[in-house]
Amino acid sequence: MEYHINESEYRFMDVLWDAEPIGSTELVKLCAKELGWKKPTTYTVIRNLAEKGILCNENAVVRALVTRDSVQRQESSEFLEKKFRGSLPAFVAAFLQDRKLSKEEAECIQKLIDNAVDDEGNL
């Protein structure tokens, strides 16, 4: 399934993922605090995301139907394809051009790479 959510919807989902399942009244309060949204804005986003199949609002309890990881994977793939023609090395080179990694970051990334390579050296 493909997820098409805009930036404000993603910020809303971030709040939901951290708090779900949550009553819609409590979610309105949380969005006011975390996002500065008014009640109608929150209910509009809930309705729109429910129509897209991203969340469920049953009996005034809101919960996500998709995981944060699945949305991040899809958006990362789309970004990589759109901005770097699908080339992960090109993305990493651009990302690191003006930045240095800490030893811990480099080790973590190396472990991710090692785990992505199969026994024959294929990704």
> What's the rounded Cα separation, in Å, for the pair 65 and 95?
32
- φ/ψ of residue 52, rounded to 5: -85, -5
Is 121 among the domain residues? no
Whether residue 123 is predicted with pLDDT greater than 60 in this model: the reply is no
The 10s digit of each residue's pLDDT in 32-84 is 999 999 999 999 999 999 999 999 999 999 999 999 999 999 888 888 999 99
Domain of 16 in residue numbering reads as 7-68
- Going by C-alpha positions, the residue among 50, 47, 37, 29 that lies closest to residue 8 is 37
Is 115 among the domain residues? no
Peptide bond into 40 cis (omega under 30): no
Give the CATH number of the domain where residue 53 resides. Answer: 1.10.10.10
Is 118 among the domain residues? no
Is 123 among the domain residues? no
The 10s digit of each residue's pLDDT in 70-122 is 999 988 888 899 999 988 889 888 988 888 889 999 899 899 888 888 766 66
Give the chain's domain count.
Answer: 1
Is 12 among the domain residues? yes
pTM (2 d.p.): 0.78
Is 81 among the domain residues? no
Is 46 among the domain residues? yes
pLDDT at 64 (0 to 100): 97
3-state SS, 26-91, equals HHHHHHHHHHCCCHHHHHHHHHHHHHCCCEEEECCEEEECCCHHHHHHHHHHHHHHHHHCCCHHHH
Residue 74 structure tokens: 């899809």
Higher pLDDT, 106 or 23: 23
pLDDT at 3 (0 to 100): 76
Is 83 among the domain residues? no
